[in-house]
A and B are shown apart, each in its own frame.
Chain A
Amino acid sequence: MASTAPRPEACTLGQQITVRGTLTGEEDLLVEGRVEGSVSLAGHLIVAESGVLEADLDVQSIEVHGEVRGDIVASQSITIDKGAHVAGNVRAPRVIIHDGAQFQGAVEMDVDLPEGLARGLTR
């Protein structure tokens, strides 16, 4: 489990920062403050324990220790850590939810069901 501490070069939105609107980027980002709107990031997004995102997220990968309210789409993975709060629908090839995380919403991953089970599923 990667810790909340970012790599030294990672861009950080500090605790007292609030962003409203669309946030786009192509590098890793650590959010300790607040983002409202939407985030589109071709990189790794870390929501620190103090971080609050009220936004729809489209990222490469994300690690939530804080709070996210909005839908999350990740091209790689979504990790919801212990103590995190996520309310929204999440979609990624890999979704990891740790014990102690709080999550409300739908999860969509690729599920390769065995032959015969996939049939007859309305989903």
Chain B
Amino acid sequence: MTPEPPLLQVRDLRVAFGAKEVVHGVGFEIRAGEKFALVGESGSGKTVTALSLLRLAGEAEITGQALLDGRDLLQLRERDLRAVRGSSVAMIFQEPMTALNPLMSVGKQVAEVLMLKQALSKAQSAQAAIELLDATGIPEPARRAASLPHQLSGGQRQRAMIAMALASRPKLLLADEPTTALDVSLRGQILDLLADLQRQNGMAVLLITHDLLMVRRFAGRVAVMEQGRLVEQGDTARVFEAPEHAYTRRLIASTPRRDVVEGEAAADAPPAARAQGLRVGYPVALPGVRGWFGKGEFVAVKGADFRIPAGRTLGVVGESGSGKSTLAQALLGLLPSSGALEVVGQHWRQPAPRNGAHNQGLRRQVQVVFQDPFSSLSPRMTVQEIVGEGLEVHAPELPEAERRTRVLAMLAEVGLAEAQFPGLLARYPHEFSGGQRQRIAVARALILQPRLLVLDEPTSALDVTIQQQVLSLLQRLQRERGLAYLLITHDVAVVRAMAHEVIVMKDGEVVERGGVRQVLDAPRHPYTQRLVEAARPVDQR
């Protein structure tokens, strides 16, 4: 039996934006009905590679060959290519909210594809759309088909988009980070759905992701990209067990390591933060005429109790909308709250957002590091202005030179030295990489020498290799300065590496609490179980 020719054959693909080449001669093959993964960190060119197969990469200059069933996609005329897009090759994107038309019901959007690509009548396509939505596991598909995208949950939206992609019965499905925008507990489900559909329809899937766990669960073969080059490809099991290239090895090895002070904190020492019956709500508009006269209240945190000893980390886990970020903002004094909430033994004077002398004193004690290092630093301020701001507000009497010295010392402590970056203080955030920006954010938070640091998903936006560096930095700072952390994350590996105690939140309530081992190794609440399950590698199930 002669081997079948591959479905997609990419040879020496080069993509350049202007004079800058971002993909340097990539070649791979995808066989019919195969699950293939393209993995790499951000900026490695994996998404650009996939987009250029359909010539969707904007003004990029593309050279090389991409043979689909023997036809070179890169040489096709625009008209013929449009026929290929969405029929032989379909694509699903990271963020379903922006990829779906917000003004059209999802049923109609799926039916539209059916009418265009399979020439079904209006009634037939509406019926077929409902069947497709059903196949992707959307409950009550007949009713949901009439829903607009914003009326669906994130997981349902992604399912609707998959239904749309499947409507044209593609031979190849390009899935660009299909689960990144979803809650962790949903990711496994979407991935399983993709695998099921792939089996039933016999199509090939090209999965583009940075998540090694997903690759391992899903793909038959994997290609690893680094800075526009394919450094390694092969069967998934082989690549993970015996990685050949140094970069692959580094990628696989960069799981967060636990390196924190263990053991019970001294019982008599005052806690860095303590909450008892903490309740945070904010006003929301009421529907209809009632909204003219009054406001309703949405209670985001309903009676949370916790205690963070000095030098320890409390992990807060929960899906989006569970109230964990609201909890953090209350602790930072950015939202008014009721119930007892102490930072280093002192209460916030309510309403907490008001900057009275008492509250200003407390602000020196609790600071924050946010998830996205690109939106958390003002692009129009220099590093000195960003890091030195806390001093300017809280210690305006400091002479300029002294402030400068302190800013430099703080930056050196987070690993940014003048020697490495000449003119460091006068630089602007855009000149730094994601990990370096996160270091600047940490420096800004620590310049006032706070006792408690709120870490709101501090590593989720970073690449895996950088993630480990930032976590090590945070662990070192905790050891050296006795800092307490409130760590908000959905990444089980990060919780495992950092936290001493964990609370799990759902719908504003704390549903599970305990030591990190106890909660993650023997989860009791169904949500925790799902979360831990989703994060477990295949071979350990």
Q: Do A and B bind?
A: no
